[in-house]
Each structure stands twice: as C-alpha cells, then as structure tokens.
C-alpha cells in the first residue's frame, strides 16, 4: 500500500490533494486536527493532518501484491480491516465535497441549519461540518446533540480564543467610544459608566463631541446627572484639551464621539483630527447586531487607522441571528468587550466572555432528542 501524509487547512482541501495524487480509490488511514503557533508564538493556526493510502499494482506482473497494512492494524481481524477500509473509501469519496453539496447524515442537519440561520460565515460552517461528518461516520451510535454541540463549540473556540474578551480594563483613563448613528452608542456609554460607578466605585466624567444632535447631548446630560458626574461639550481640539485638564482628578472619562454616517470618509477624518488619545485610551467600536454584515464591514474598514481593541455589539435582543459577531471578530481579529440586550441602564449590558458568547450563539437550537 502506498501511503502519504497530507496537511491542509480544511478536510475538503486535504481530500482534493489526496484524490489528485492517489485517485478515487484512496483510503484515509488516520486524520487529526493539529495546531501550529504563529508569530511570536501567538495566533494558533489550525490545520488537518491526514494519512491516506491506496493499493499499489506492481506492473507488469499479473499478480497483485497484498497491500501492506499500517502497523497499528496488525492486531485487528481481517474482517474488521476490510470493513474499516471499505468505510474509509466511502468517506474519501464523499467528504471531499463542500458543505453545500455534500449529503450530510440526517443527525447533523439540525445543527447545520442552526448555523446557517445564525448567518455564520460559510467557511466556519464548513469547518464545523467537516468535524461533525467525521465524528458521525466514525461513531454512528453517538448521534446525541450534546456531542455535536461540543464539537461545534470546540471548533468555534479554536477560532475565537486568540482574541481578547471582557470590558473596560481600567488601566487607561480615557474610554473612547466610536460608532455610527443609530447603534445606541450614548446609551451604551451610560451603561458602562454606571457599572464603573456602582461596581468599581470609580469617579467618572463625560466628554461629548456630538455637537450635531441636541437630543444626544441632553440624553448624556441626564445620565451624567443621575451618576453625579461632570460633563463637558467640546467643539474642537482646544476644547478637548481644556476638558481633559478639568478632569485630571477623575478615574475614568468616557468620550462620546459624534454619531455620523461613517461610511463617508470626511466624517472619519474629522473625528481623527479631533481625537488623538493613543497613549492613555481604550478604544471601542460600537456596532448594531441588527445591521447587515456588509454595512458593518464598511464601517470597520473606515476606522482601520484607529487603535480599536474590541467591538461592542448592541441590540442583540432585537435579532434572531448573531453570526455576524463571530464573523467580524474572526475577519478583523478584534476582541469583544460587551453586548447589550435592552434599553435599561445599567442592567441590559453583558460583559463578554468566550463561554458566554458560545452559549448565546448555540442557544435555542431546534432538535428532537434521540430516544
């Protein structure tokens, strides 16, 4: 038997290589997920390592040589070997197809459908589907949804665990909160500030550059009054410096930037000229989970020159799909600070954690437990 080890980013890619070199009659002898560390030992990269083989024919001899079985199978019975090889042949033929045209076992359809309904990126669905497919083919009696959910969580965890989770670090004085109009940015700032006052006993203040919307200023003034916190309205860079000087004695200062249509470059450039607090600032970008992913991507691209550490997603309670949260974190390599799920201040805000996000993402999946 001719054997060769293949390494690829996904199982379908490995299957293409195997079929190209060994043909359709090749068999998988072993497969496993491996991780390699990237730059400075960070950002683990996942890949699939597959050992494949095929029966070789000695030409021009008319008699076929018996295939040499891997060492790990020497103690198995011949019938078990034949059955395993036949099963693996079938896996090779079917697993190479993409998630969209592969015939999946019925047992995994409920979970795959849930991932699609959550609008998870196709490549992430394919990655999870590959692992589910291999698991169900090797463990035909273990079709419980709990086992499938664990596989899905493990796959997503491997993608997300390299990014930071959690809210304000309190290592920096200024909390710079960016975001387009209509995402609930001012209310989110109020929730963050209330938590800082009530839970961390911090002295807070507010600076707003949103001089375009009177309602936004009045709203922030109301929250500042409830928290007994000072507030300054700034129109230019000089005003900002004066406000910062006034707030020297405070622990945390929240900067509410103007809510504008940041798809337009000029508004981003105006903001960049006004806010330049790279040394002592944590910067968050607020996005609405009800927005189209493509629209959010345009906003993120516009803010590429800002030192954004983490995203904040609002209005999670107003949508039935939150796959875009995962998609954008993976695509832009950003962490997650908070997500909000209502208008109440300060209750309706959740400090993000990886486990909490995975549970939220896989919550409510519709399936019937196997009897």
- The full set of domain ranges for the chain reads 1-96, 98-164, 174-352
CATH of 174-352, one of 3.40.50.300, 3.30.465.10, 3.40.30.10, 3.40.1740.10: 3.40.50.300
DSSP characters over 59-77 = SS-SSPPPPPPPGGGTTS-
Six-digit token pair at 29? 């002898």
- Count how many Cα atoms sit within 13 Å of the Cα of residue 55 in the half-sphere of its side chain: 11
**Per DSSP, what are the bridge partners of residue 281?**
174
Cβ atoms of residues 351 and 339 within 8 Å: no
Instruction: Write down the pTM of the prediction.
Output: 0.69
Task: Please enumerate, as own/partner, the contacts of 267-272 that have beta carbons within 8 Å and a separation of 24 or more.
Answer: 268/302, 268/303, 271/178, 271/209, 272/305, 272/306
**Per DSSP, what are the bridge partners of residue 178?**
285
**CA 306 to CA 128: how far, in whole Å?**
33
Within 230-325, strands assigned E span 231-233, 252-256, 281-288, 308-314
Over its length of 371 residues, how does the chain's per-residue pLDDT go in tens digits? 677 888 887 777 777 788 788 877 777 767 777 776 555 555 566 777 877 777 654 444 444 444 444 444 544 456 656 655 655 555 554 444 444 445 666 777 888 899 999 999 999 998 898 888 887 777 666 667 788 888 899 999 999 999 999 999 999 999 999 888 888 898 999 999 999 999 999 999 999 887 666 777 888 899 999 999 999 998 888 888 899 999 999 999 999 887 655 555 655 666 666 666 566 889 999 999 999 999 999 989 888 878 888 999 999 999 988 999 999 999 999 999 999 988 888 888 999 999 999 999 988 665 443 33
Six-digit token pair at 74? 């020497």
Within the chain, strands assigned E span 2-8, 27-36, 45-54, 174-178, 204-208, 231-233, 252-256, 281-288, 308-314, 335-340, 349-351
**CA 368 to CA 110: how far, in whole Å?**
9
């Amino acid at each position: 038997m001719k054997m060769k080890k293949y390494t690829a980013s996904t199982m379908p890619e490995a299957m293409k290589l195997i079929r190209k070199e060994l043909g359709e009659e090749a068999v998988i002898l072993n497969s496993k997920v491996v991780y390699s560390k990237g730059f400075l030992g960070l950002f683990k990269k996942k890949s699939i390592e597959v050992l494949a083989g095929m029966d070789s024919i000695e030409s021009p001899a008319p008699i076929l040589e018996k295939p040499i079985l891997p060492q790990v199978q020497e103690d198995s019975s011949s019938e078990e070997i034949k059955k395993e090889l036949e099963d693996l042949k079938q896996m090779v033929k079917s697993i190479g197809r993409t998630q969209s045209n592969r015939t999946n076992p019925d047992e995994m359809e409920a979970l795959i459908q849930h991932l699609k309904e959550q609008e998870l990126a196709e490549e992430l669905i394919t990655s999870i589907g590959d692992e589910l497919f291999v698991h169900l083919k090797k463990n035909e009696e273990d079709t419980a949804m709990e086992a499938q959910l664990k596989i899905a969580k493990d796959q997503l965890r491997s993608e997300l665990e390299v990014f930071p989770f959690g809210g304000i670090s309190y290592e920096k004085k200024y909390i710079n909160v960016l975001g387009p109009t209509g995402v609930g940015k001012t209310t989110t700032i109020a929730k963050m500030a209330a938590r800082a006052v009530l839970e961390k006993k911090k002295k807070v203040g507010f600076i707003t550059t949103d001089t375009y919307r009177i309602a936004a200023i009045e709203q922030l003034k109301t929250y500042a009054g409830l928290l007994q916190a000072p507030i300054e309205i700034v129109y230019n860079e000089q005003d900002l410096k004066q406000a910062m000087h006034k707030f020297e004695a405070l622990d945390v200062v929240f900067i509410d930037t103007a809510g504008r249509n940041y798809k337009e470059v000029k508004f981003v450039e105006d903001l960049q000229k006004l806010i330049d607090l790279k040394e002592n600032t944590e910067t968050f970008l607020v996005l609405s989970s009800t927005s189209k992913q493509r629209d959010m991507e345009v906003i993120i691209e516009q803010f590429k020159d800002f030192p954004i550490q983490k995203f904040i997603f609002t209005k999670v309670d107003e949508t039935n799909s939150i796959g875009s949260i995962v998609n954008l974190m993976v695509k832009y390599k950003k962490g997650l600070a908070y997500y909000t799920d209502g208008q109440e201040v300060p209750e309706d805000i959740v400090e993000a954690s990886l486990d909490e996000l995975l549970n939220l993402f896989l919550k409510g999946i519709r399936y019937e437990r196997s009897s």
